[in-house]
A and B are shown apart, each in its own frame.
Chain A
Amino acid sequence: MKEQSLGEFEELVLLMVAAQHDEAYGVSILEGLEDKLEKSLNISAIHVVLKRMEDKGFVKSRFGGITGERGGRRKKFYVITALGKRMLDQQYTLRTGIYQQIPKISFG
Chain B
Amino acid sequence: MHPHPPKYPLRFLRWFCREDYLEEIEGNLLELYEHQYEESPAQAGRKFFWNVLWHFRPAFIRSFKVDYTSTQPAMIRHNFILAFRNFQRYKSSFFINLIGLSSGLACALLIYLWVNDELSIDTFNDKDSQLYQVMKNNSYQGNINTDESTPGLLASTLAEEMPEVEHAVSVFPPADYTLKGILAIDETYVKARSKFADHDFFKVFTYPLLQGDKDQVLSDPSAVVISEALANNLFHTTDDVLGKTVTWKGDQHSGDFRVAGVFENPPANATIQFDIVFSYELMQQVYDGFENLGDNGPSTYVLLKENTDVARFNDKIINFLKTKDEEASTTLFTRPYSDRYLYSDYENGVLVGGRVAYVQLFSIIAIFILLIACINFMNLSTAKASRRLKEIGVKKAIGADRKALFTQYLGESMLLTSLSLILALILVLLILPQFNHITGKQLTLHFDRNIILSITGITLFTGFIAGSYPAVYLSGFNPVSILKGGGFHGRSKSSGGEIWARKGLVVFQFTISILLTVSVLVVYQQMTFIQSKHLGYKRDNVITFTAEGKIAEEPETFLSEIRKIPGVVNASYMDGDLINIHNFSTSKALEWEGKNPDDMTNFYMLRTGYDLVETLHMELKEGRSFSRNFSAESSGVIFNEAAIESMGLTNPVGKTVKVFGEEKQIIGVVKNFHFESLYENVHPFYFMLSDRAENMMVKIEAGTAQEILTQLGEFYQAFNQGVPFDYRFLDEDYQKLYASENRVAVLSRYFAGITILISCLGLFGLAAFTAERRLKEIGIRKILGSSSLNIIRLLSADFTGMVLIAIIVALPISYLIAQSWLQDFAFSIELKWWYFAGAGLAALLIAWFTVGLQTVKAARVNPVECLKDE
- Show the binding face of A for B, using Cβ within 8 Å: 25-27, 30, 42-45, 47-48, 51-52, 63, 69-71, 73-76
**Interchain CB contact (< 8 A) of A27 among B23, B26, B28, B60:** B28
Assembled-state Cα–Cα distance A44/B49 (Å) = 12
Asked whether, in the complex, the Cβ of B21 is within 8 Å of the Cβ of A51, the reply is yes
Assembled-state Cα–Cα distance A42/B52 (Å) = 10
Among B29-37, B352-360, B783-791, which stretch is in contact with chain A?
Answer: B29-37
Proximity bits, B20-47, A CB within 8 Å = 1, else 0: 0101111111111011000000000000
Asked whether, in the complex, the Cβ of B28 is within 8 Å of the Cβ of A51, the reply is no
A78 CB to nearest chain B CB (Å): 10
Asked whether, in the complex, the Cβ of B26 is within 8 Å of the Cβ of A76, the reply is no
A51 CB to nearest chain B CB (Å): 6
Interface residues on B, range: 20 to 34
Assembled-state Cα–Cα distance A41/B449 (Å) = 62
- Nearest residue (CB) in A for B22 is A73
The yes or no answer to B868 lying at the interface (CB within 8 A) is no
The yes or no answer to B51 lying at the interface (CB within 8 A) is yes
Asked whether, in the complex, the Cβ of A43 is within 8 Å of the Cβ of B27, the reply is no
- Nearest residue (CB) in A for B27 is A73
Contacts of B24 in A (CB 8 A): 25-26, 47, 73-76
Proximity bits, B44-84, A CB within 8 Å = 1, else 0: 00000011001101011000000000000000000000000
- Nearest residue (CB) in A for B18 is A51
Asked whether, in the complex, the Cβ of B29 is within 8 Å of the Cβ of A43, the reply is yes
Assembled-state Cα–Cα distance A57/B570 (Å) = 111
Max chain A C-beta neighbours (<10 A), residue from B25, B31, B35, B60 = B31
Asked whether, in the complex, the Cβ of A70 is within 8 Å of the Cβ of B31, the reply is yes
- Nearest residue (CB) in A for B55 is A44
On whether A74 and B23 interact (CB within 8 A), knowing A25-B28, A27-B32, A51-B59, the answer reads yes
The yes or no answer to B2 lying at the interface (CB within 8 A) is yes
Asked whether, in the complex, the Cβ of A42 is within 8 Å of the Cβ of B54, the reply is yes
Asked whether, in the complex, the Cβ of B51 is within 8 Å of the Cβ of A70, the reply is no
Assembled-state Cα–Cα distance A70/B26 (Å) = 8
- Nearest residue (CB) in A for B2 is A71
**Interchain CB contact (< 8 A) of A73 among B26, B55, B59, B60:** B26
- Nearest residue (CB) in B for A42 is B54
On whether A26 and B28 interact (CB within 8 A), knowing A51-B21, A51-B59, A73-B23, the answer reads yes
Assembled-state Cα–Cα distance A83/B55 (Å) = 27
Asked whether, in the complex, the Cβ of B51 is within 8 Å of the Cβ of A44, the reply is yes
On whether A44 and B54 interact (CB within 8 A), knowing A51-B21, A76-B23, A76-B24, the answer reads yes
- Show the binding face of B for A, using Cβ within 8 Å: 2, 21, 23-32, 34-35, 50-51, 54-55, 57, 59-60
Asked whether, in the complex, the Cβ of B59 is within 8 Å of the Cβ of A69, the reply is no
Contacts of A43 in B (CB 8 A): 28-29, 32, 51, 54
Asked whether, in the complex, the Cβ of B55 is within 8 Å of the Cβ of A47, the reply is yes
On whether A75 and B59 interact (CB within 8 A), knowing A27-B32, A42-B54, A44-B51, the answer reads no
Top 8 closest A-B pairs, CB basis? A73-B27, A44-B54, A26-B28, A76-B24, A70-B27, A71-B30, A70-B31, A44-B55
In the assembled complex, 30 residue pairs joining A and B whose CB atoms fall closer than 8 Å, in A order, are A25-B24, A26-B25, A26-B27, A27-B28, A27-B31, A27-B35, A42-B50, A42-B51, A43-B28, A43-B32, A45-B54, A47-B21, A47-B24, A47-B28, A47-B60, A48-B57, A51-B21, A52-B59, A63-B23, A70-B31, A70-B34, A71-B2, A71-B27, A73-B27, A73-B30, A74-B23, A75-B24, A75-B27, A76-B24, A76-B27
Contacts of A25 in B (CB 8 A): 24, 28
Assembled-state Cα–Cα distance A74/B57 (Å) = 23
Contacts of B35 in A (CB 8 A): 27
Asked whether, in the complex, the Cβ of A48 is within 8 Å of the Cβ of B30, the reply is no
Asked whether, in the complex, the Cβ of A48 is within 8 Å of the Cβ of B28, the reply is no
Contacts of B31 in A (CB 8 A): 27, 69-70
Assembled-state Cα–Cα distance A35/B273 (Å) = 97
B216 CB to nearest chain A CB (Å): 75
Assembled-state Cα–Cα distance A64/B26 (Å) = 15
Asked whether, in the complex, the Cβ of A44 is within 8 Å of the Cβ of B2, the reply is no
Assembled-state Cα–Cα distance A27/B31 (Å) = 8
Contacts of A27 in B (CB 8 A): 28, 31-32, 35
A94 CB to nearest chain B CB (Å): 28
